[in-house]
Structure formats: C-alpha cells, structure tokens
C-alpha cells in the first residue's frame, strides 16, 4: 500500500478521474495498483463517478474524453524558453552515448538539436521518435506500452518492464512542477511509474523545466526529490531563491 491508500474518498476519486482523463481509459486493476487500494474500492469509486456523469463505466474499467491540452498546443507555449533549454541540454550529449528522453515538449526541443549526431536514443515520446526517425546515425529504441494519443506518449507495464532491462548514460526528464520542498511533480498519474523507471535506468539525470513550472501548485503525484537530480536546465526567469535552494541540495543548475 502506498500513501494514496490513506486519501479521503473525494480525493481518491479526483485522482482516479485525472488518471482516466489523461489516458482516455483505465482498467480497475491499473487504478487499484496506482492508488494502493483494493479493486472493490476502485469499482465503487468508478460507479460513483459514472453516476455523477464524470466518466463512462465500461466492463473492467472506465473511459472518458480527455480534457488535457493537445500536444501541439502545449508545444508552442513558451517556445523560445524551451528551445534554449533544449539547446543547452544537447550540449551535454556526447556522440556514442545512450540517452533516454522523457515525454513532453521540452524534450522534443532537445531532440531537434540532436540532428547530425551519432548516438542511441531511447524514448517513450512519439514526437521525439518522429523527429529523429530520418537520422541514420541515431539508433532509436522506442519503449512499448499503451499509446496516449493526446500527448503522444507510451505508458503502462510494457514500458515499465522495458525500462527495467535498460541502463542509459543520461536521462533527460520532464515535469509539470517543482514544489517548494524540491519535489518534482507530475499531473498525470499514468506517466509517473514510467518516469520512476527512467530514473532507475539512468546513470545521470538532467531535469528540463522552464521557469513557469517553479510557481503555483501544479502536480498531483510526486516523481522524485532533488536527491535524484544531477542537473537542472531552466531559463533565466527561474526564481533566484529556488535556484540557490537546488544548488544547496547538490543540483547543478544551468541557466539557458
């Protein structure tokens, strides 16, 4: 059982709804494992959410129309900052390395700066895969799993199992927020196990995050703490006090 098992029913249902909305559908077993509760509890919660009209109950789970902004829409937001971060990240990559690229639009910008390089790229990011497909000197390894069409990523136990078999030189990790306690957060529960698998597979971890993600309270699930991050690449609007906090925690901060 994990910490989600102690949540109030209303909070647990909120997390279930977020997870189903993110992936478009989810099985009872997957939700029970994510939340650390029994399948019977999940079925009751799904029935409650179905009665409220928030999702559609189907045999073995639930479906919903995703409300997540489409990848193409997110990709153009803060484009200049993401491009600078992607360029700075590319400078860390050495020819011949095996690198792991997380989902997201900032890691896509990194991929756009890897053309002409000779390396191996492992990813669950379908946009990264498409970007680097023409590059004959880039060996592409695409993780398996269930396709999240709206965000062009791969999730689920197949992706997690593949990561358990891999060891990479460097992970470029994305996130939706960095909390004041330096917790790296994500707002899509289905992505969190994959991110944690990536962390376990990497010798070095580089977090790519623009300054807007330092503010607010975004993120429903904790991915890791600052102790799991070796390098953070951000833009020049990052709050100075948070940068100092990260440096004090042993994280190298690169301002792009």
The pLDDT score that the predictor gives to residue 59 is: 86
188 or 113: which leads in pLDDT: 113
144, 162 Cβ separation under 8 angstroms: yes
Output the CA torsion sign for 238, 239, 241, 246.
negative
Among 11-25, 67-81, 242-256, top mean pLDDT goes to 242-256
CA distances 36 to 5, 29, 32, 46, 116, Å, are 5, 10, 6, 15, 45
- Dihedral, CA atoms, 148, 53, 18, 237, nearest 10 degrees? 100
Helix boundaries (H) for the chain: 9-23, 28-35, 39-51, 71-76, 79-90, 105-112, 126-132, 157-164, 192-201, 240-248
Which percentage of the chain shows pLDDT scores above 90? 61
- Say how many CA atoms lie within 13 Å of 20 toward its Cβ: 29
More confident residue, 24 or 4: 24
194, 159 Cβ separation under 8 angstroms? yes
DSSP E strand boundaries for 54-97: 56-58, 61-63
Structure tokens at 209: 């995050």
Tell me the pLDDT of the chain averaged across its residues.
89
Tokens of 147: 């396709």
The Cα–Cα gap between 171 and 201 comes to 8
Q: Inform me whether the pLDDT recorded for 140 exceeds 90.
A: yes
Helix axes 39-51, 9-23, angle to 10 degrees: 80
Architecture of 3-63 per CATH? Orthogonal Bundle (1.10)
Domain 71-255 annotated CATH 3.30.465.10: no
Structure tokens at 96: 């011949």
Angle between helices 28-35 and 9-23 (to 10 degrees): 130
Q: Enumerate the CATH 1.10.10.10 domain ranges in the chain, comma separated.
A: 3-63
Which regions of the chain carry the CATH code 3.40.50.10470?
71-255
Question: Could you tell me which of 64, 51, 61 has the C-alpha nearest to residue 18?
Answer: 64
- Global pTM value: 0.74
């Amino acid at each position: 059982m994990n910490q989600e098992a102690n949540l109030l029913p209303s909070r647990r249902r909120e997390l279930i709804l977020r997870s189903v909305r993110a992936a478009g559908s989810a099985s009872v077993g997957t939700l029970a494992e994510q939340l650390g509760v029994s399948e019977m509890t999940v079925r009751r919660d799904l029935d409650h959410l179905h009665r409220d009209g928030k999702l559609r109950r189907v045999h073995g789970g639930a479906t919903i129309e995703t409300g997540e902004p489409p990848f193409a829409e997110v990709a153009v937001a803060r484009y200049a900052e993401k491009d600078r971060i992607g360029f700075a990240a590319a400078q860390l990559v050495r020819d011949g390395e095996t690198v792991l690229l997380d989902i997201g639009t900032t890691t896509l910008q990194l991929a756009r700066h890897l053309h002409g390089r000779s390396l191996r790229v492992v990813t669950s990011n379908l946009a990264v895969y498409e970007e680097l497909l023409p590059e004959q000197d880039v060996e592409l390894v695409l993780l398996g799993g269930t396709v999240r069409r709206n965000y062009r990523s791969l999730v689920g136990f197949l992706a997690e199992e593949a990561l358990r078999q891999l060891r990479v030189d460097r992970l470029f990790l994305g996130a939706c927020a960095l909390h004041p306690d330096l917790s790296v957060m994500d707002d899509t529960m289905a992505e969190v196990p994959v991110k944690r698998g990536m962390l376990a597979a990497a010798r070095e971890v580089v977090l790519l995050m623009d300054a807007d993600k330092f503010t607010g309270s975004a993120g429903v699930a904790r991915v890791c703490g600052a102790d799991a991050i070796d390098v953070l690449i951000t833009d020049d609007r990052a709050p100075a006090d948070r940068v100092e906090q990260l440096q004090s925690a042993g994280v190298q901060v690169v301002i792009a």
